[in-house]
Structure 1
Amino acid sequence: MANVLVVDDSNTMRELVSGFLSKNGFDVVTATDGRDGLQQLRNDPDIKLVVSDINMPVMDGLAMAEKVRNELGNTAVRIIMLTTEDNAHIRERGKEVGVNGWIVKPFRGEAVLGPFKKFCGLA
């Protein structure tokens, strides 16, 4: 089963992030929005890390994170936002709903490889 879930409504970003992670030893599944991401988490209890955009149709990344923590009761999965949003208000909202980290786009895979491997027990 997968150990990373990449959630982004942009096909290009999903492919970029999931492709990089796959090439570096991660088992990755993807989702097109927060609702799809929640379903992936329900289906696969082995996911240890979620990398998600915030601004998506249907359900945004922060709403998904809140549901992961409250509705699914999943406090173990690490949730990292990968987004263009970088203001204090949105970061505070992220902390409130259980987001563990923040990466401002563009995605620089090499910079996060070590921490991501640690989150997933690959280091």
Structure 2
Amino acid sequence: MAQDYSKKPIEELMAEAKGGNIEAQNALAMLHELGLIPEASAAEAARLYAKSAKAGDPLAALYLGVMHEKGAEGVPVDKSIADSYYHMAEKGGYHKAVDRLTEAGVGRRTILLVDDSASFRNVTRALLNKCGFDVVEAPDASHAIRFLQNGGRADLVISDVEMPNMDGLEMLAIIRGRLQKKDLPVVMLTSVREVGVLKKAKMLGVQGWVLKPYDNDMLVQIVRKALVA
């Protein structure tokens, strides 16, 4: 039976990762990359992904390829290293991994962007369009739910948490519950930092948590990772 590493205490994750458990290594790497644990660093995330990749995990290789191609603090931008990890990912089953992570975006995927600030949506839409994504906007969670319920297409949802009438986590619960969209990736883009809210989001199946004001490269990297996971 697969372990749910989102509910593991950090100490257990670290112990299992040290013992060579690939899933624990990847979970710990993600926490480092998102800055959600003490002394978190992109360099430590890259080290953990490298261990998993060398042990044969194609998803870790894909993540590491992105980090080397796009750069992160403490991780050099090196196209040749990135290509070697993309090749490793492709050999492991992620076919055409390089093509899926180029500036053209992963096959012109459509992102549903949910935020009550029109100016914020404009800035974020421009970034995502530049990186090759199509964007559909919703001014609040209710509009987003209606869009999805009426057959609107979205390959990923990016949403604020704090919005009038219905917050982002309530929307996520409806997406996973009533709409039965268990596999639709959801990334929260918010100023909320409370651990309790993060835990609730993780239980509801959130794929990423990006803090405002966000770093452009980090947001795009997390979006791409959520789409290929």
Tell me whether the two structures share a fold, i.e. TM-score over 0.5: yes
Distance 1:45 1:2 in 2: 13
**TM-score, normalised via structure 1 length:** 0.88
Q: Deviations over 1:47-99 (max 9, x none)?
A: 11111000001211000000000010001111111111011111011112222
Higher percent of residues as helix: 2
Distance 2:114 2:190 in 1: 11
Match of 1:5 in 2: 112
User: After the TM superposition, which of the residue ranges 106-115 and 14-23 deviates more from structure 2?
Assistant: 106-115
Q: Which has the higher contact order (CA 8 A, sep 6+)?
A: 1
The residue identity in structure 1 corresponding to 2:212 is K
Q: Establish whether residue 47 from structure 1 lines up as the match of residue 148 from structure 2.
A: no
208, 217, 228: which one pairs with 1:110? Answer: 217
**TM-score, normalised via structure 2 length:** 0.49
**CA 1:33–1:94: 2 relative to 1, 3 Å:** same
Match of 2:203 in 1: 96
Paired residue secondary structure (1:19): helix
Distance 1:58 1:72 in 2: 19
**Pairwise CA RMSD:** 1.9
The residue identity in structure 2 corresponding to 1:29 is V
Match of 2:98 in 1: none
Distance 1:22 1:94 in 2: 27
Identity of aligned residues (%): 34
Higher percent of residues as strand: 1
User: After the TM superposition, which of the residue ranges 111-120 and 49-58 deviates more from structure 2?
Assistant: 111-120
**CA 1:81–1:70: 2 relative to 1, 3 Å:** same
Q: Establish whether residue 75 from structure 1 lines up as the match of residue 75 from structure 2.
A: no
28, 33, 56: which one pairs with 2:135? Answer: 28
Aligned pair count reads: 121
The residue identity in structure 2 corresponding to 1:52 is S
Distance 2:224 2:205 in 1: 20
Distance 2:227 2:200 in 1: 25
Larger radius of gyration: 2
The residue identity in structure 2 corresponding to 1:11 is A
Q: Deviations over 1:11-37 (max 9, x none)?
A: 111111111101211010010111111
Match of 2:166 in 1: 59
The answer (yes or no) to whether the contact 2:207–2:226 under 8 Å persists in 1 is no
Distance 2:111 2:174 in 1: 18
**CA 1:100–1:115: 2 relative to 1, 3 Å:** closer
